[in-house]
Amino acid sequence: MVKLGVNVDHIAAARQARLGFLPDPVYFALLAERCGANGITAHLREDRRHIQDEDVRRLRKKIKTKLNLEMAITRAMVQFACATKVDDVCLVPEKRQELTTEGGLDVAGQRVKIKSAIDTLKKSGIYTSIFVAPDLKQIVAAHAAGADCVELHTGTYADAKSSEERKREFKKLLLAGRCARDLGLILNAGHGLDYKNVGPVAKIAGMNELNIGYSIVLRSLEVGFENAVKEMKKLI
Ligand code: PXP
């Protein structure tokens, strides 16, 4: 069974638009769990544009599945993850100006820094993942840095403008998946996955978990959040 991790960033983004209390990402995380989500994902960005520190602490206390914290590799974030005792950390690149996480992490280019963050996280019992482009060099580097898992960035596949481009991008995901499995890494994927493009990605051999946020929130405007999660769960 491929697991569904529901990303609640976009719920927090709606709340931050008015700087109020609603909608509450913790409330929707609990609802997602009741509708079959196997885990909850939140990205605590350095600019705190959506998820806030207190959201992560509240998620930690309330959810019953597992909490996957997406974060940049900074000393402060590593300390926060260890102190909050999240289950999983997914290391992601972060740029202030970007609308969303644009690419995978350049693991090959910053191996020492990443290895040191992973060592610290692992000492706190945190399961570590790295968000990477479907690029064999980065997957080999993620393995060398000691990560338990890679999350393949599916954004380029999702944004493909033609079926040829999509096929090409999907092939990269297949090869990257095989490389990760051969190295003994757990295989996750996410970014830009929706109800139309998720099927083939869910079928990649050895796929463990898909982390999905935006399309579920969009779909919930039409069918309600509970149905949106259930439909995605059924599809994957
Ligand atoms: N996985 C990672 C590492 C991400 O950065 C994001 C976006 O926050 C997602 C999954 C979810 O992407 P989307 O919101 O497009 O489903």
Q: Could you tell me the pTM of the whole model? A: 0.96
Instruction: Evaluate: CB of 100 within 6 angstroms of ligand 1.
Output: yes
* Average pLDDT of span 70-85: 97
d(CA 165, CA 46): 33
Atom of ligand 1 nearest to the CA of 155: 15
Mean pLDDT check: name the lowest of 71-80, 97-106, 146-155.
97-106
Q: Quick one: which of 196, 94, 197 has its CA closest to 154?
A: 197
Q: Residue 225's pLDDT band (boundaries 50, 70, 90)?
A: very high
* Average pLDDT of span 20-29: 98
d(CA 173, CA 207): 11
Instruction: Evaluate: CB of 40 within 6 angstroms of ligand 1.
Output: no
Q: Ligand 1, atom 11: nearest CA belongs to which residue?
A: 191
Does position 18 have pLDDT exceeding 90, yes or no? Answer: yes
The verdict on whether 70 is a catalytic residue reads: yes
* Average pLDDT of span 80-92: 98
Atom of ligand 1 nearest to the CA of 211: 10
Domains present along the chain, CATH in parentheses = 3-235 (3.20.20.70)
Instruction: Evaluate: CB of 89 within 6 angstroms of ligand 1.
Output: no
Higher pLDDT, 109 or 101: 109
143: CB partners within 8 A, 6+ apart: 180, 183, 184, 185
Q: Quick one: which of 2, 4, 6 has its CA closest to 214?
A: 6
3 state SS of 89: strand
- Burial class of residue 8 (count of CB atoms within 10 Å of its CB; 0-12, 13-18, 19+): buried
* C-alpha of residue 43 to centroid of ligand 1, in Å: 8
Catalytic residue selected from 33, 70, 169, 209: 70
Does position 33 have pLDDT exceeding 80, yes or no? Answer: yes
d(CA 198, CA 129): 20
Interval 123-177: pLDDT, tens:
999 999 999 999 999 999 999 999 999 999 999 999 999 999 999 999 999 999 9
d(CA 35, CA 142): 33
**In percent, how much of the chain has pLDDT > 90?**
94
Which stretch of DSSP H or E encloses residue 42?
Answer: strand 39-43
Instruction: Evaluate: CB of 130 within 6 angstroms of ligand 1.
Output: no
The verdict on whether 191 is a catalytic residue reads: yes
